[in-house]
C-alpha cells in the first residue's frame, strides 16, 4: 500500500529524491498539485494532443447535480428547502387599515438607513431584529423571524411553526426566550409568534412592496441552518413580480416577489429588504433549477404579511374574502376569439358559496370586477384583497358569447373542514 509522501518511499522501489519517491506522471494520477494546474480562463481549455479541450471535472459534476434537481419548485413546507428539519376556491387575505398597526412600530432597526449607507449599514441596523425560531414537535425544525413590534411580536412562516409543541426564539444578541404562537395562516404562509419576555425589542421597519420595480436592489437577511453567530446577509435584485408559486398542500401563493438574493435553508421567515433598509417581503419559498444551484427565492409581499399579522394579533385569526369558485386563466386563443385581453375561467362553483348564490356557473369567464379589467385568475384574487366580507361587487362575465353583469355579495371563507 502506497504511503503518504511525508513518510517517504519505504518499499525499496528506488527513484528517491531526498527520501521522497517521485510521484507518477500527472496523467496517471487522480490528483494534481496546484503548480500542475493551468490557470482558469481560456488557457484552461487548451487542446490536448488529440485536439480536444481537457474538461474540468468539477463543472461536469456540478451540472450533473443540478440536472438531477431540475425544475424543483415549491413552498418550503413541502420541500424543506428553507427551514431546517432535524430528527427530522379563490381565497384572499382581508386587508387591515394601516391604523391597526402599533403606533411607532417599525421605527427601530431600519429607520434612517439610506442608499448611500450601503449594505453594511443595512445589515448592522436590521440584523438585531432578525431572530432564529426553533420549533419542537413531531419534528424539530428551525427557521427565521422578523421582530416588527417592540413588545416582541415577530413575523415568520406558517410552515415553520406547523405542529409546534414549543417554540424557542434566539435573538441576535444570543439571548433565548420562550415563544408563543399567536396565530397562523397557511393560506398566506404567515404566522405571528410573541416573545414571552419584557421588551422593548429591536424592530425592523416595515415598508411596502406596492411600488417595487424589476431590477431594484434587494437585501435578504435570515438565520440559515440554525447556525450560531447571528444573521446571514445576501444581496440581489427583484427578478420578477406577481409570481404564482404552487403549493402541493393548498392553494398557490400569489403575487409573490421573486429575487436572486441567495436564500439559504433556515432563512424561511426572514426579511427581504430594499436598499433603504425597509422590509418589503417575508422570505417564503425557493426554486432550484438547472439554471443555478441557488435558483430563485420568493417572498410574500410585506403588505399582505402585515395585514394578516395585525388581524391575527387583534382577533387570533386572519379573515379571508371568499368568492367560492375554482378556475384558471383564459388561454390566448380563446381570449382572441372572444375579443378580450384575457379573463378568469370559472371551472367549478362551490355549492352555497357567494358565487353560486349569485348565479355564476362553470364555463363563465370573468373579465371585469367593478369596472376594472380582469385579465387572469391571479389578478382577480389580487383585486379582491382590499375588499371585506359583506361587500357587494359587480362581476363582468362572458357567457355563451354574451357579456353580462352579475352582482355578488362577498363572504368569509369558512373554517377548514366545513
pLDDT at 31 over 70: no
Fold of 72-88+206-303: Thrombin, subunit H (2.40.10)
Q: 199-236, pLDDT tens digit by residue?
A: 899 999 999 998 889 999 999 999 876 566 678 899 99
The domain defined by 320-412 carries CATH number 2.30.42.10: yes
Whole-number pLDDT of residue 299: 94
Structurally, at CATH architecture level, domain 98-195 sits in Beta Barrel (2.40)
pTM of the model: 0.68
Residue 117's pLDDT band (cuts 50, 70, 90): low
Average pLDDT over residues 386-398: 92
Q: 363-388, pLDDT tens digit by residue?
A: 999 999 988 899 998 888 888 877 88
pLDDT at 393 over 60: yes
Residue 418's pLDDT band (cuts 50, 70, 90): low
Q: 78-100, pLDDT tens digit by residue?
A: 334 444 443 334 544 444 444 33
Q: Of 58 and 188, which is predicted with more confidence? A: 188
pLDDT at 354 over 50: yes
Catalytic residues: 159, 189, 268
Most confident among 31-40, 109-118, 248-257, 319-328 (mean pLDDT)? 319-328
Domain with CATH 2.30.42.10 in the chain: 320-412
pLDDT at 107 over 70: no
Domain with CATH 2.40.10.10 in the chain: 72-88+206-303, 98-195
Extract the C-alpha cell encoding 371. 369596472
pLDDT > 70 fraction of the chain, expressed in percent and rounded: 67
From residue 70, how far is each of 64, 75, 265, 287 by CA, in Å?
10, 16, 18, 9
Amino acid at each position: 500500500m502506497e504511503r503518504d509522501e511525508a513518510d517517504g518511499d519505504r518499499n525499496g522501489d528506488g527513484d528517491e529524491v531526498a527520501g521522497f519517491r517521485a510521484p507518477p506522471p500527472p496523467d496517471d494520477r487522480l490528483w494534481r498539485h496546484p503548480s500542475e494546474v493551468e490557470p482558469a480562463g481560456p488557457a484552461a481549455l487548451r487542446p490536448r494532443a488529440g485536439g480536444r479541450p481537457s474538461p474540468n471535472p468539477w463543472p461536469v459534476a456540478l451540472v450533473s447535480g443540478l440536472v438531477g434537481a431540475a425544475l424543483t419548485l415549491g413552498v418550503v413546507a413541502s420541500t424543506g428547502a428553507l427551514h431546517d428539519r432535524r430528527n427530522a376556491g379563490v381565497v384572499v387575505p382581508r386587508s387591515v387599515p394601516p391604523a391597526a398597526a402599533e403606533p411607532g412600530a417599525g421605527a427601530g432597526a431600519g429607520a434612517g438607513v439610506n442608499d448611500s449607507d450601503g449594505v453594511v449599514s443595512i445589515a448592522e441596523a436590521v440584523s438585531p431584529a432578525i431572530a432564529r425560531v426553533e420549533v419542537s414537535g413531531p419534528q424539530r425544525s428551525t427557521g427565521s423571524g422578523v421582530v416588527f413590534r417592540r413588545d416582541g411580536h415577530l413575523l415568520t412562516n406558517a410552515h415553520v411553526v406547523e405542529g409546534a409543541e414549543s417554540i424557542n426564539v434566539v435573538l441576535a444578541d444570543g439571548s433565548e426566550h420562550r415563544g408563543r404562537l399567536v396565530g397562523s395562516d397557511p393560506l398566506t404562509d404567515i404566522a405571528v409568534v410573541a416573545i414571552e419576555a419584557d421588551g422593548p425589542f429591536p424592530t425592523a421597519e416595515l415598508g411596502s412592496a406596492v411600488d417595487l420595480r424589476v431590477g431594484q436592489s434587494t437585501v435578504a437577511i435570515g438565520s440559515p441552518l440554525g447556525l450560531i453567530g447571528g444573521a446571514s446577509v445576501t444581496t440581489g435584485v427583484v427578478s420578477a413580480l406577481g409570481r404564482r408559486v404552487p403549493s402541493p398542500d393548498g392553494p398557490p401563493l400569489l403575487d409573490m416577489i421573486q429575487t436572486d438574493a441567495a436564500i439559504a435553508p433556515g432563512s424561511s421567515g426572514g426579511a427581504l429588504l430594499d436598499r433603504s433598509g425597509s422590509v418589503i417581503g417575508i422570505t417564503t419559498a425557493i426554486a432550484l433549477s438547472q439554471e443555478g444551484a441557488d435558483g430563485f427565492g420568493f417572498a410574500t409581499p410585506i403588505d399582505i404579511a402585515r395585514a394578516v399579522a395585525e388581524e391575527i394579533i387583534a382577533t387570533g385569526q386572519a379573515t379571508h374574502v371568499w368568492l367560492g369558485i375554482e378556475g384558471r386563466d383564459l388561454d390566448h386563443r380563446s381570449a382572441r376569439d372572444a375579443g378580450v385581453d384575457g379573463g378568469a375561467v370559472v371551472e367549478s362553483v362551490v355549492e352555497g358559496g357567494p358565487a353560486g348564490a349569485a348565479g355564476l356557473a362553470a364555463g363563465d369567464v370573468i373579465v371585469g370586477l367593478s369596472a376594472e379589467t380582469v385579465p387572469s385568475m391571479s389578478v382577480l384574487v389580487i383585486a379582491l384583497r382590499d375588499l371585506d366580507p359583506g361587500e357587494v361587487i359587480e362581476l363582468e362575465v362572458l357567457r355563451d358569447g354574451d357579456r353580462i353583469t352579475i352582482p355578488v355579495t362577498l363572504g368569509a371563507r369558512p373554517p377548514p373542514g366545513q
